[in-house]
Chains A and B, each alone.
Chain A
Amino acid sequence: MSPSTKDALLIALLRACAVAAAAVVVLIVAFVARDSWPALRDIGIVRFLSDDWSPTGADPGFGIMPMLVATLVTSAGAITLATPLGIASAVFAHFYAPRGLAVLLRRVMELLAGIPSVVYGLWGLVVLVPLLLRFAPPGQSVLAGTLVLTVMILPTVALMADVALAAVPAPTLQAAHALALPRHAIALKVAVPAARSGIVTGIVLAAGRAVGETMAVLMVCGNVVKLPTSVFDPVRTLTANIALEMGYALADHRAALFVSGLCLLLMWMALASTAGLVRGGRHA
């Protein structure tokens, strides 16, 4: 084989790998949409928003509204809590911490980011829920879910904010120092605004993680299909619903679960495109 045929072969092979990798997400959308289609066609979007959820009854209902609300409420709560904490932790690491402590905090955040969601769920179930139970029964609740999600996404917000602050150009900070601005003003009025886009990207990634999280919320939210009226009410999220019912779901019920999956997929895509995350050449 001549060297140029070899080159052509190699490039063809690598191209096939790249196309295969790119095809995965297309396959996911295609298959989830295909298996949702019977439900979207026969049941219709309106009933998904207005029905009760009683997919196995004689007169089955397929309303996913309570679960959609549960997903949005727990995620929004977690983002609201994790954003200031994450930014504060990054500001600490850059402007306040002794060097050793900043490194330690970063390592701990990386470790926290790597802890499996099922372990957070287990911690929530055996530690947090019994604690909440003492103050506001039943313990398994919106609040428990929000708190566990906060702990889970905090490292994402903190680490992304940390990277964004590190990327603030040195002259910007030197100019602020030259003006003899106090440290808190440099941190909050100069560095954080300059790092805004990176920080927002981190928050969006964290939101995606919170919306898509299954195990942790499944283990601490109580899984009752009902619109919550207070943060102490148990709820079931879209993800938990799929995990709980996919094992025995048939026909329209199964298709309805795929519709929930499609919803989650669309929510993530919307989040990703708002952050301008999906721009292609950003590695350039």
Chain B
Amino acid sequence: MPSALRAGFRRGDGLLGLVVWGVAIATLGLFSWVVGDVGLRGVSELSIAFLRESPADAGRAGGIAPILVSTGLILLVCLTAAIPIGVGAAALLAEFTRTDGALGRTVRVSLDVLSGVPSIVFGLFGNVFFCVTLGLGFSIVSGGLTLACMVLPLVIRATEEGFRSVPDEIRQGAAALGFSRASTFAKLLLPAALPGLGVGLALGIGRALAETAALLFTSGYVDRMPTSLSDSGRALSIHIYDLAMNVTGGEPRACATALVLVAVLVTANMAAASLTTRASSASGIR
């Protein structure tokens, strides 16, 4: 665009420019305020010992080692359940059913609804279904399975994109070579769809680690080191909530725990971003 025209444009839109610049700067400022304020309050409490010790005095002293372990185990249960079902469902949707068929539509509608169900409702469901009906009690398994239900839509959607980004030439080539659909799927499509699964996993891990309300009545509050998956275990997010709301003087430790949680989440987020870039550049072959 000629610069004279550009200058003409500028005169007319000073007001909107002012507004949107203001909003953008305020947003960046807000982000620094939230992360900075919580971070500054927490950073002085951080140490290697904080990560390696058990909490003492209701969390005011000691560290978060058992909570890190419980969080890891809940995540492990969640992914162990969500990955196979998610990949299977995504493969069906992308490769083995018509997009406008009855099964495909039904599955998509239910996943769309599922993706917005409030987390406290997941908590209620997890409590009555996993803890009571299946008899798993307040345990890491119950919490992990509840989170698996929650992250399924994320995992399925991203993995489905992964399958869809595989060029058709691969399927046609495999068919021309007389591959069965099963071996085309296992040897060619599945490996090619892995970046999509990676994106889904990173997003799912982010959502699972951030979750609090769904864990209140499923994996519980116990802050001891878990000895098995049927023990109750306290997740990082629950620890933050408990320290902030139920423990007088627990705020600095709550902020320190929040800092640890946000650090883990930012790592997951960056992994998702780099995988998305890689996945979209891979699909660019087409």
Interface residues, chain A, CB within 8 Å of chain B?
3-4, 6-7, 9-11, 13-28, 31-32, 34-35, 85, 88-89, 91-93, 95-97, 101, 104-105, 107-112, 114-123, 125-127, 151, 154, 158, 177, 180, 182-185, 187-188, 205, 208-209, 211-215, 218-219, 239, 242-243, 246-247, 257-258, 261, 264-265, 268-269, 271-272, 277-284
Contacts and interface: CB of A to CB of B under 8 A. Distances in A.
Given A17-B89, A26-B110, A183 B10 contact: yes
B141 interface: no
B88 A126 contact: no
Contact of B116 (A27, A88, A268): A268
Contact of A14 (B96, B99, B124): B96
A177 B5 CA distance: 10
A209 B213 CA distance: 13
Interface residues of B, number: 100
A258 B15 contact: no
SS of A interface (majority): helix
B60 interface: no
A153 to B, nearest CB: 13
A58 to B, nearest CB: 27
Interface of B: 1, 5, 8-13, 15-17, 19-21, 23-24, 26-28, 30-31, 33-35, 37-38, 41, 84-89, 91-93, 96-97, 99-100, 103-114, 116-125, 127-129, 133, 149, 152, 156-157, 160, 180-183, 185, 206, 209-213, 216-217, 237, 240-241, 244-245, 251, 254-255, 258, 261-262, 265-266, 268-269, 273
Given A184-B17, A272-B112, A118 B241 contact: yes
A22 B265 contact: no
Contacts of B210: 114-118
The 6 A-B residue pairs with the shortest CB-CB distance, nearest first, are A17-B88, A212-B118, A182-B12, A184-B13, A3-B180, A116-B210
Which of B8, B92, B109, B121 has the most CB atoms of chain A within a 10 A radius of its CB? B121
Which of A17, A126, A208, A239 has the most CB atoms of chain B within a 10 A radius of its CB? A17
A215 B110 CA distance: 25
A267 to B, nearest CB: 9
A2 B210 CA distance: 46
SS of B interface (majority): helix
A258 B124 contact: yes
Contacts of A184: 12-13, 15-17
Given A121-B244, A154-B27, A183-B10, A280 B105 contact: yes
B46 to A, nearest CB: 15
20 contacts: A10-B181, A13-B88, A35-B128, A88-B19, A92-B24, A96-B20, A115-B35, A116-B265, A117-B210, A118-B241, A119-B38, A158-B27, A182-B8, A183-B10, A185-B12, A187-B16, A261-B121, A278-B109, A281-B100, A281-B105
Contacts of B28: 104-105, 108
Nearest to B94: A283
B8 to A, nearest CB: 7
B258 to A, nearest CB: 5
Given A111-B266, A122-B254, A183-B13, A205 B213 contact: no
B34 A125 contact: no
A71 to B, nearest CB: 10
A24 B110 contact: yes
B281 to A, nearest CB: 17
Nearest to B31: A108
A26 B149 CA distance: 12
